[in-house]
Structure formats: C-alpha cells, structure tokens
C-alpha cells in the first residue's frame, strides 16, 4: 500500500495491516555505507515505510546525514564533521564494512530530504540537538507531512519542540514506563506516540494494557529490534539478531504480536517478507474509533 501523506499517520497505520517497517540508517551492507542515498534507495525498494537518518553539522553550519561520533568508523579521516567545513566533508570517501574507501560521500540533509520526498516517512534522529534550525530545514524542504521527530521527555527538550516544531509529528523516547503521554496529548504538540525502550518483558511500556491504552487514545508505539550495542538492550532480546539466527517469531513476531506500530530494523527485506505472510498484525477490535 502506497503511503498517502495527505492522511494522518494513524490512518495510514490502520490501513497498513502490519507494523510500519523503519529502516535504521537505510540498508547498509557490503560496499553500501549507511546513511547514504544508496542505502535509502535500497530500503525503499525493499519495502521500508520509514527511513531513519542521523544528523550532524559541519563547522560552518551545513547539515549532513551522519551519525555523530562515528567518523573513525565510517570516514577514518582523523576529524569530526563538526570540526570540518562543508567543503571538506564533501571530499571525504565513506568506508565500506571492511574499511575500504568507496565512491560514496556523506549526503547533505537537503539532498536526503529531496531524495525521499513523497516516498516514505522520515525519522530525523538527533533532532533534539538543534530543534529550531533542523525544523527550518524540514519546512524549507517541504517534507513536514513525512517527518517524524523525537526527543526524550525532559522539560527542556519538550519546551524546544513546543517553541519551534509544534506542528511536526512528535514522538517521545522513554525507558521502562510512560509518565508523559497524557500530558503531551493535552498540549499543543502534534504528539503521535512513544518510542519505547525496554530491557525486560515485564516493563510497563511493553505490556498489553499499556499498548491498548495508547491505541485507545489514538497514539502509536515505536519499538526497536536493532542491536547497535550489545551492552544496551532496548527490546528485551527480541532483536534482529535473534530473528536472523534463531527465530523470526521470537524476535520480530513477538514485537508484532504485541501490536506495536513501528519496528526499526537493520534487515528491511527480511522483516517485510516476514510481516507479509499470512498473519495480520493489527487487530481492528483493539482500536477505538
């Protein structure tokens, strides 16, 4: 089903019939580095509903799609992007998974927005680092109806979103329990739901009762099967790794059975194939009109 960005994300989710598949930094394997236009194109072609991308800013103020602090891994240039001019950043080759230089370069944020316009939802990670300026970039690119922004729920972060981006689709990231959704839903924000981070199956925010409450209040739930650091578990072990090495039912299936609305993954094609099977992962009886 092609996403209709003139409709609400809630309506598109209901029509999808399965959780949205969010591509973590696009699809990056072999010679294709993450957070590149090539990585995004592959993710879109494999069925991603959401592209997650990271943002950092050059010394002279241009925004690039790159995970801050990962320069030693993906650029191996001896400097951080924040220490370089935009011109310098554009000349440095990205490295593939074996550390070899490629012809790919770090895209600008404006290039990424232009490429993804009209294609998928876009999760702009690191939005909280410069809410005013990044919100301006989103509006100038004309992708307001596609972009999902996030922050943690501390008072300062929420205040920045209220001031500079109340119109943008907003999720709050939370660990273990939710003590802010009721307040945010009554605010002037375009609050669409929560990104839940949990390391125990018993955590409140992955309980059936909590997810039912969110759906009853027209809110969505974002879960992560990605493993970006084995020392920090963010889905109680129901991960990409488990899905690919042991059982997709135990990993992705467990999350989908919980009725989450997004699953962020590094294995887009495989997850789309799994969710596209016979089982329907949304129970209309659990949604209140």
Global pTM value: 0.95
As a whole number, mean pLDDT of residues 198-218 equals 97
Q: How confident is the model at residue 281 (pLDDT cuts 50, 70, 90)?
A: low
pLDDT(232) > 60: yes
Using CA atoms, how far apart are residues 26 and 30, in angstroms rounded to an integer? 13
- Which domains are present in the chain? 9-55+62-69+110-276 (3.20.20.190)
Q: In this predicted model, what pLDDT tens digit does every residue of 97-112 receive, in sequence order?
A: 999 999 999 999 999 9
DSSP string spanning the chain? ----TTS-HHHHHHHHSSPEEEEETS---TT--TTSHHHHHHHHHHT-SEEEEEEEE-TTS-EEE--TT-HHHHT-SSS-GGGS-HHHHTTSPPB-TTS-B-S--PPBHHHHHHHHTTTSEEEEETGGGSHHHHHHHHHHHT-TTTEEEEEE--HHHHHHHHHH-TTSEEEEEEES--SSHHHHHTSSS-EEEEEEEBSSTT-GGGSHHHHHHHHHTT-EEEEE---S-TTS-SBTT-SHHHHHHT-TIIIIIHHHHTT-SEEEES-HHHHHHHHTSS-----GGGS--
Q: How confident is the model at residue 1 (pLDDT cuts 50, 70, 90)?
A: low
pLDDT score, position 285: 46
């Amino acid at each position: 089903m092609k996403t209709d960005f003139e409709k609400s994300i809630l309506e598109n989710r209901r029509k999808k019939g399965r959780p949205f598949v969010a591509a973590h930094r696009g699809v990056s394997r072999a010679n294709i580095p993450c957070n590149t236009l090539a990585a995004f194109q592959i993710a879109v072609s494999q069925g991603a509903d959401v592209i997650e991308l990271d943002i950092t800013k050059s010394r002279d103020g241009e925004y690039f799609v790159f995970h801050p602090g990962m320069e030693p891994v993906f650029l191996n240039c001896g400097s951080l992007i924040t220490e370089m001019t935009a011109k310098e950043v554009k000349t440095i080759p990205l490295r593939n998974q074996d550390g070899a230089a490629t012809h790919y370069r770090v895209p600008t944020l404006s290039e990424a927005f232009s490429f993804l316009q009209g294609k998928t939802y876009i999760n702009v990670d690191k939005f909280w680092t410069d809410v005013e300026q990044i919100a301006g970039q989103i509006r100038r690119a004309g992708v307001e109806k596609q972009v999902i922004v996030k922050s943690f729920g501390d008072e300062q972060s929420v205040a920045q979103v209220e001031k500079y981006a109340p119109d943008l689709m907003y999720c709050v990231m939370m660990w273990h329990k939710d003590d802010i959704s009721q307040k945010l839903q009554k605010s002037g924000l375009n609050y669409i739901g929560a990104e839940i981070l949990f390391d125990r199956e018993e955590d409140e925010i992955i309980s059936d009762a909590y997810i039912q409450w969110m759906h009853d209040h027209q809110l969505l739930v974002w879960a992560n099967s990605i493993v970006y650091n084995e020392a920090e578990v963010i889905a109680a072990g129901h991960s990409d790794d488990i899905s690919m090495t042991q059982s997709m039912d135990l990993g992705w299936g467990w999350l989908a059975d919980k009725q989450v609305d997004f699953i962020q993954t590094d294995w887009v094609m495989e997850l789309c194939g799994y969710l596209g099977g016979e089982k329907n992962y949304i129970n209309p009886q659990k949604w209140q009109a």
